[in-house]
Amino acid sequence: MELTQEDITRVVAAALAEDVGAGDATTLALVPEDARCRAELLLEEPGVVCGIPVAAAVFAALDPSVTLEAKLDEGTAVSEVPAVVAVIEGPARAILSGERVALNLVGRLCGIASLTRRFVELTDGTRTEILDTRKTTPGLRALEKYAVRCGGGHNHRAGLYDGVLIKENHIRVAGGIAEALAALNGGADGLPVEIEAETLEQVREAVDAGAPRILLDNMSPEQVREAVMDVAGRAELEASGGVSLATVRAYAETGVDFVSVGALTHSARSLHVSLEVT
C-alpha cells in the first residue's frame, strides 16, 4: 500500500477545514500579510521520524510559496533530542495557521513508527515479520500504514478489497472452515486468501482443506509453536490477538511467519513534536 499524494491531500484538506475553518482569527489579527518567518520542526523525545512530507503538504496547502527542508530522512531513529527534523520558511500567516495540524499529524505518525520499531527490534534474528491490521483511525489508514512501514513493519490488507480473510463470523455463516474455503470456488479473483483458526483442531482442518494461510487467533506461544510443527510449512501462519511488547519475542521464537499487532495503530502514543519560530 503506497502513500500517494492524493492520500496526503485528502487528509490535509479535511484537517485544515476542521482547524482553520473560515480563517485563523488570531493570526489574521496579529500578523501582517507580508510578514515572513523561519521555523524549525522539532522532535522533542526519542523516536522514529515520520510524516515530514505530510507536514510539507499542510503548509503548501495554505500557501504554495512556503518551503520545507527535511533535515532527517523518514524512518530515522532519533536518540538525542530535541532534534531538528525540518526547517520551514515562508509567509508567517501560513506557517502559524498550519502549525497545529502539521504537529498533530507528524506526532501521530512518529508515534506509530516508533512503536512499530520497538516490535521489530524485539523480533530481530527470527524469521517473523511484524504486520499491522485494519484497526486504524478512520480516514488516516494510508498515512498510518505508511508510518508502520517507516518503523520497519509490514502492511497486511489495505482494506476489505485487496485480500480475502475468512474470519469466525464468515465461517459460521458458511457452515464451517472446509465449507467456507470450498465456497470461494475460485471466486477470490487472484487475491490472497487467509482463514482464521481459534483451535489447533481448526488449524488442521484448514490445512486439510487447502488453506494457503492461517490466522492463529488468540493462541498462546505454546499453541502457536505446536501449530507451526503440525503445519510443517504446508501453509503460512500468522499469530494474532493480544500480542504485546512483553510477549512478541516468545511468539517470534515459535517460528511463525507473521505476527499481526493491532496496537501499532490503535494504541500508539503520539510523540511530542513542536514548531519554533527562530
pLDDT in tens, 68-112: 999 999 999 999 999 999 999 999 999 999 999 999 999 999 999
Strand (E) or helix (H) holding 29: helix 25-30
135 is catalytic: yes
Same domain, 38 and 140: no
State the amino acid at position 63 in one-letter form.
Answer: D
Residue 103, domain extent: 5-116+269-277
Q: 78 and 193: one domain?
A: no
Q: What is the pTM of this model?
A: 0.96
User: Is residue 217 among the annotated active site residues?
Assistant: yes
Q: What is the CA 85 to chain-centroid distance, rounded?
A: 20
268: which DSSP letter?
P
pLDDT digits (tens, 9 = 90+) for 199-220: 999 999 999 999 999 999 999 9
CATH number at residue 61: 3.90.1170.20
Asked if residue 142 and residue 102 are part of one domain, the reply reads: no
- On whether both 198 and 107 belong to a single domain, the answer is no
Q: CATH number of the domain at 242, please.
A: 3.20.20.70
Looking at 19, 40, 121, 217, which residue is catalytic? Answer: 217
Active-site option among 7, 24, 144, 196: 196
Which residue among the candidates 69, 127, 162, 167 is catalytic per the annotation?
Answer: 167
Q: Are residues 89 and 136 in the same domain?
A: no
Provide the pLDDT for residue 187: 74
* Residue given cell 523525545 in the structure block: 45
Residue with cell 486439510: 208
Domain count, the chain: 2
Q: What parts of the chain have a pLDDT lower than 70?
A: 1
Q: Any catalytic annotation for residue 276? A: no
**100, 118, 134, 234: the active-site residue:** 100
* Same domain? 51 vs 130: no
- The answer to whether residues 139 and 269 touch, using CB atoms and an 8 Å cutoff, is no
Active-site residue 71, yes or no? no
> Do 22 and 92 sit in the same domain of this protein?
yes
Asked if 130 and 98 sit in the same domain, the reply is no
Residues 87 and 167 both lie in one domain: no
Asked if 230 is an active-site residue, the reply is no
My answer on whether 98 and 168 are in the same domain is no
Please tell me whether residues 253 and 229 are part of one structural domain: yes
Same domain assignment for residues 130 and 260: yes
